[in-house]
Amino acid sequence: MKDSIKAWFTHQSLDNSKRTIQVVVFLSLILAMGLSGNILFAFKGLGTWLLSEEKSAQIFTSAYDHFATQLPHFIVDEDMMKLLPQTTEERITWENVRREFGRTDMAFIAFGNRRKSIFNGESLACLWDVSHALEEVKEVDEVLSISTMRQMTNDGGFLEISDLQPSRNMTMDEVEEVERYLNKYPRIKKRIVSRHNDYVNIMIKPKIGIDNSILRDKMVEISGEFLSKYEIHYGGVPYLFGTLPTLILEDVLILMGFGIGILIAILALNFRSVAAVTLVWGVIIIALVSMMGFMGWVVTLTGSEKFHFTMVNSTMPIILMTIAAADGVHILTKFFRELRKQKHVEKAIRVTMDRLLLPVFLTSLTTIAAFLSLVFAPIEQFTGYGITVSLGIAWAWLLSSLFLPAVIIHHKWDLKSKAITHLSFIEKIVSMYGRNVVRFQKVILVFSVGVVLIAAVGILFIEVEVDFTKFYKPGSEIRDSVDFMNQEMTGVMDIDIRVEGNLKSPESLNQMQVIQEFVDSHSHVCSTLSIVDIIKQMHRTIMDDDPKFEIIPESKEKVSNLFTLYSMSGTLDDFSSLIDYEYQTGLITALMGHITTTVIIEFVRDTEEMIQSITNDDIQTNITGILVIMRELVYSVIRSAFTSIAVSIFMIFLISWVFFKKVLWALLSVTPLVSAVILNFGMMGLFGVDLSHITAILSAIIIGVGVDFSLHYISQYRNTAKSVVSLDTLTREVVEDVGYPIILDAVSNMGFGALLFSVFVPIQYIGGLLIFAMVSTSVATLTILAIVAELMKKRLTTN
Amino acid sequence: MTELILSLLLFTQTGLEIAERVGERLQPKDISSTAIMVLANSKGKTRTSVMKLRSIDDNKKQIIWFVEPKDDKGVAFLKIEHDNQESEIRMWLPAFKKVRRIASTKRGNSFMGSDLTYEDLTNRNLSENDYKYLKDEVVNDHNCYVLKISPKPKAKSDYSHHVNWIIKESLVPFKEESYDKHGKLKKVKSFVFKKIQNYYVIKQISVKDVQKNHTTNIQFNHIQVDTGVDEKLFHEKNLKRLPRN
């Protein structure tokens, strides 16, 4: 950093401190205004909780909501599809299929009582009430259950398309008739009744573009109203995604609570000064609010979905809190050390800023570089994450470099306090460590490298997992519901095969049948459905219900006649989710239970290969559905993880090279990071932590945060090298000087531990791994980097 | 002066009287025509069918043969309405060489995938509906009566009510709005009649299901009346015989 720039910062923060505080607070307020809409909604939430229903309805009218939505605000989103770039072939196919057939991802409500048959008048009456109430919900396109289904029957040559459940209240004979009909068509029954007939399923097809959380709330409300006597289970992508926004917000608030608690405790224990803790917290809070406000502004001004707040972003506030704390910790620690020596506040802060402005700038710049590397990741929302956190870090740097010294100089410090006169516990340990690191340098180096090499083996065992149902803890209500749906019902994951061709032609239909049978034969597939099933059912019905005619007719005229016959008493809308209006495009839908990501990849690949081998010019096919999207997400996750590692390490290398003017320093600055990344992924492989679109962000965080330690070390090394008398004491002095803030920084990063309390499993993993990463990067800096620097001190200290 | 007296007389008519006059309108003994039916869904995709039609007794007996689409050529449909029992509907499926009876119990079922249900196609029984005269209105230069028709419970209708615009001069419907059981607008139908000999014969029906955003347009061509269509034609065996013209 040029001296003139350094001088400008020192002048603004120390000589114009009041003005600097005002300007920084004012600019932060402008950024924070990006949260105005959210603040109004938070008031509404609080008001509705505190006030009576009548009073809150008077205050928080629809005009209030409208006004709040017009103000800048960030958006909590749960749509997994937005993770994939809009140009991805899989996303395009998915959207095309939605346009043609409506949504293929269903929500499910299953209810019943274990070991008690659902085939009784009372249960079917409840099913009727729930199904018809759901049909009235404006977010719902179609409801499929015993109560809404149509049946095809033949009675003396009379083709009747009628309601399977003709009325709410049914006689026992009528109920038995429904059961008989479903037993005749097990493929249909499997979709709507559980294996032991004790639960009944309602499949809900949502409209396109609706808010899943509204649908989810209405599903729960309606079920609660009519199904109090039954065990209720919910499932399906719309339900899970609809649950996410509230869960994410609750999770973020809980995590922040824990994060704040942990950070305050750590800072208080180490600084032993209320003023120091308050100052660091001032920086954290202002940086956090500014960052979230920035997100609101970007979404409001650009409408970019990349900046929506998703499960991926849940870690963001904790990440920024800990990063923002780091600079403050370094400045205050150095300030206390200088104050101990100088006994003069202004002198101490001037020396501190002179020494730390460059490393604080450099660490912020490299951390920003690491987070900006996420822009190159194929997962769309990593872009928003990277840019937003980068802005937060930049703001935290500005606050630490201008606002913090300006406030420090205004504060009346008690020079006799223990915080200033006495070394802390960590400082004493670090001093001892500094002596030993030089003494046992080779042993420590061999041991450290050995640990890294052993961990590297673990990388081979890493598995990628993007099944969002596994993001919920086993035993949680949502996970139990999903597990129930997978075990007892048809499963909740869909794979859909779009078939294009003349779908009245038996040749095309036969090929479609072969594909469907292949999909059906997979052990994880619970149920499949296509227009072929309907045609076969129609054929059987008009041929006097003879089961041997449950086949595709041999001529297209027959197929056409069947459709025409159906249209005389049914409506062709009944098939709108299976075939298009012109009989040119059909859809095979399959529902699956528990399936691991590895099996997903194999299954999608096998299906694609099988389709290629049997199809000819008669039909063209595309595969889509949640499974295919998840398969694509797996590739994106892997690409994202590796891209962010490569780009961030390269950028940090470049920045270090430019600032330290030596390739060797640049190499040394990334050495602890590479070791930490290897250790992290190795540990993930060894301990069975899956790589997901949530944990893929880890490498950027580790590199972004971990780089601070090596940069502080190198800066201090270079500074000390200029003044030290003997090279023999150089490393020891550097470790003593910078070791404490590095360890304190790493300890204060234990705020990441708050993530262990998340309701989402991958975020818990992030918490655990980040704690490990902070320990490994700081230890790697004070061992591998320190020892390598000690071994190469002659080369490093010569110009 | 005569016009003034006439209009006063008409003004005092009840809805039922207007409906009776509409029902008493002179009808041909038989009608022969070809029809082109175009169905269009909300995405603008269409399906076209061409049919030959014969009917007698004010459409109470009707036979329809499909000419297009090619795959459905020869499919035929016979409907006979009875006053005191359910209508008979039969269909000939040439590819299966079978005649199949069709359920007509569901009056709300759609006819041939169109926006017309069997209820829409059946003549309204005066005793099963309440008729209320609402007002006079000029629509597209036509002087119309506006009637509200509310089916009685015994009619087992799928509608809560209809609003019908009847052209005063010809006593033929010009437009009709049908409302579902919740009172929400379900369909808008418009009619074009053509005067052939002394009869007003339907030339075109357009229906839009506003809730599904689906439309049906039926255009009748080559309309002939009173050509002496034999009542024996309306028999199952004739379903198999597609007429040449």
Architecture of domain A490-624: 2-Layer Sandwich (3.30)
Residue of A nearest to B90 (CA): A158
Tokens linked to B53: 């039609």
Answer whether B106 sits within 8 Å of A569, measured CB to CB.
yes
Query: Where do the domains of chain A lie?
Result: 3-14+272-461+631-797, 104-243, 490-624
Question: With bands split at pLDDT 50, 70 and 90, how would you rate the model's confidence at B3?
Answer: very low
DSSP A690: P
Cβ atoms of residues A532 and A509 within 8 Å: yes
The whole-angstrom separation of Cα A363 and Cα A361 is 6
Mean pLDDT score, A195-217: 88
Domain of B132, in residue numbers = 14-240
pLDDT of residue B97: 86
The whole-angstrom separation of Cα B139 and Cα A562 is 42
- Nearest of A279, A362, A328 to residue A5 by alpha carbon: A362
DSSP A12: I
Q: Does residue A474 carry a pLDDT above 70?
A: yes
Q: Does residue B226 carry a pLDDT above 50?
A: yes
pLDDT of residue A538: 86
CA dihedral B56, B57, B60, B62 (to 10 degrees): 0
Of A121-125, A151-155, B56-60, B103-107, the range with the lowest mean pLDDT is: B103-107
Inter-chain Cβ pairs, chain A and chain B, closer than 8 A: 89
Task: For B117, list phi and psi in degrees, rounded to 5.
Answer: -100, 170
Cβ atoms of residues A748 and A329 within 8 Å: yes
Helix (H) or strand (E) holding B216: strand B214-225
> Is A556 an interface residue toward B (CB < 8 Å)?
yes
> Is A158 an interface residue toward B (CB < 8 Å)?
yes
Radius of gyration of chain A (CA): 32
Q: Does residue A669 carry a pLDDT above 70?
A: yes
pLDDT of residue B157: 81
- Nearest of A404, A276, A423 to residue A340 by alpha carbon: A423
Whether pTM exceeds 0.95: no
- Nearest of A674, A682, A680 to residue A710 by alpha carbon: A674
The residue that leads in pLDDT, A173 or A740, is A173
The whole-angstrom separation of Cα A88 and Cα A280 is 44
Mean pLDDT score, A461-471: 75
pLDDT of residue A768: 86
Answer whether B102 sits within 8 Å of A159, measured CB to CB.
yes
Residues on chain B touching A156 (C-beta within 8 angstroms) = 101
Q: Does residue B104 carry a pLDDT above 60?
A: no
Which of A158, A559, A564, A584 to mutate to probe the B interface, most B CBs <10 Å? A564
Mean pLDDT score, A698-712: 80
The residue that leads in pLDDT, B119 or B9, is B119
Answer whether A162 sits within 8 Å of B106, measured CB to CB.
yes
Residues on chain A touching B93 (C-beta within 8 angstroms) = 542, 558, 561, 564-565
pLDDT of residue A770: 83
Cβ atoms of residues B49 and B222 within 8 Å: no
Summarize pLDDT for A293-304 with one digit per residue, the tens. 999 999 888 888
Q: Does residue B9 carry a pLDDT above 70?
A: no
Residue of B nearest to A162 (CA): B106
Tokens linked to A758: 């998340």
> How big is the CA angle at A366 (ends A360 and A367), to the nearest 5 degrees?
85
Question: With bands split at pLDDT 50, 70 and 90, how would you rate the model's confidence at B245?
Answer: low
Q: Which class is domain A104-243?
A: alpha beta
Mean pLDDT score, B178-201: 89
Mean pLDDT score, B94-115: 74
The whole-angstrom separation of Cα A221 and Cα B5 is 62
- In which order are the strands placed within the sheet that holds A140-144? A140-144, A199-206, A107-112, A231-236
Question: With bands split at pLDDT 50, 70 and 90, how would you rate the model's confidence at A571?
Answer: low
The residue that leads in pLDDT, A2 or A732, is A732
**Mean predicted lDDT score pLDDT of chain A:** 83
Summarize pLDDT for A55-113 with one digit per residue, the tens. 888 888 888 888 888 888 888 776 766 666 667 777 777 777 777 777 878 888 999 98
Is B74 within the bounds of a domain? yes
Cβ atoms of residues A530 and A588 within 8 Å: yes
Of B45, B46, B95, nearest to A561 by CB-CB distance is B95
Answer whether B72 sits within 8 Å of A560, measured CB to CB.
yes
> How big is the CA angle at A785 (ends A779 and A789), to the nearest 5 degrees?
145
- Nearest of A776, A785, A759, A636 to residue A248 by alpha carbon: A759
Q: Does residue A488 carry a pLDDT above 80?
A: no
Closest Cα of chain B to A554: distance in Å? 10
First to last CA, chain B: 51
Mean pLDDT score, A387-411: 91
| DSSP 3-state percent helix, strand, coil across chain A (nearest 5) | 70, 10, 20
Distances (CA, A) of A58 to A51, A52, A65, A521: 10, 10, 12, 58
Residue of B nearest to A163 (CA): B106
Helices (H) and strands (E) in chain B, counts: 3, 13
The whole-angstrom separation of Cα A349 and Cα A341 is 12
Answer whether A553 sits within 8 Å of B111, measured CB to CB.
no
The whole-angstrom separation of Cα A563 and Cα A161 is 12
- Nearest of A598, A779, A767 to residue A698 by alpha carbon: A767
Helices (H) and strands (E) in chain A, counts: 31, 10
> Is B96 an interface residue toward A (CB < 8 Å)?
yes
Question: With bands split at pLDDT 50, 70 and 90, how would you rate the model's confidence at B12?
Answer: low
Residues on chain A touching B45 (C-beta within 8 angstroms) = 580-582
Cβ atoms of residues A709 and A786 within 8 Å: no
Question: With bands split at pLDDT 50, 70 and 90, how would you rate the model's confidence at B207?
Answer: very high
Answer whether A542 sits within 8 Å of B93, measured CB to CB.
yes
Question: With bands split at pLDDT 50, 70 and 90, how would you rate the model's confidence at A219?
Answer: very high
Q: Does residue A215 carry a pLDDT above 80?
A: yes
> Is A572 an interface residue toward B (CB < 8 Å)?
yes
Q: How many residues are given for chain B?
A: 245
The whole-angstrom separation of Cα A258 and Cα A759 is 13
Mean pLDDT score, A474-488: 77
Summarize pLDDT for A518-531 with one digit per residue, the tens. 888 888 888 888 88
**Mean predicted lDDT score pLDDT of chain B:** 83
Query: How many domains does chain B divide into?
Result: 1
Q: Does residue A292 carry a pLDDT above 50?
A: yes
How many other CB atoms are found less than 10 A from the CB of residue B125?
13
> Is B100 an interface residue toward A (CB < 8 Å)?
yes
Of A156, A557, A572, nearest to B71 by CB-CB distance is A557
The whole-angstrom separation of Cα A179 and Cα A261 is 58
3 state DSSP class of B100 = strand
pLDDT of residue A94: 75
Q: Does residue B10 carry a pLDDT above 70?
A: no
> Is B95 an interface residue toward A (CB < 8 Å)?
yes
> Is A50 an interface residue toward B (CB < 8 Å)?
no
Which of A568, A573, A574 to mutate to probe the B interface, most B CBs <10 Å? A568
| % residues pLDDT > 70 (chain A) | 93
Residue of A nearest to B77 (CA): A568
Q: Does residue A596 carry a pLDDT above 90?
A: no
pLDDT of residue A426: 67
Summarize pLDDT for A317-366 with one digit per residue, the tens. 888 888 888 888 888 888 888 888 888 888 888 988 888 888 888 888 88
The whole-angstrom separation of Cα A125 and Cα B238 is 46
> How big is the CA angle at B28 (ends B22 and B34), to the nearest 5 degrees?
110
Summarize pLDDT for A222-247 with one digit per residue, the tens. 999 999 889 898 888 888 888 877 77
Summarize pLDDT for B74-90 with one digit per residue, the tens. 889 888 887 777 777 88
Summarize pLDDT for A678-701 with one digit per residue, the tens. 888 888 888 888 777 677 777 777
CATH code where residue B62 lies: 2.50.20.10
Answer whether A573 sits within 8 Å of B212, measured CB to CB.
yes
| % residues pLDDT > 90 (chain A) | 10
Question: With bands split at pLDDT 50, 70 and 90, how would you rate the model's confidence at A414?
Answer: confident
ipTM score of complex:
0.80
The residue that leads in pLDDT, B162 or A337, is B162
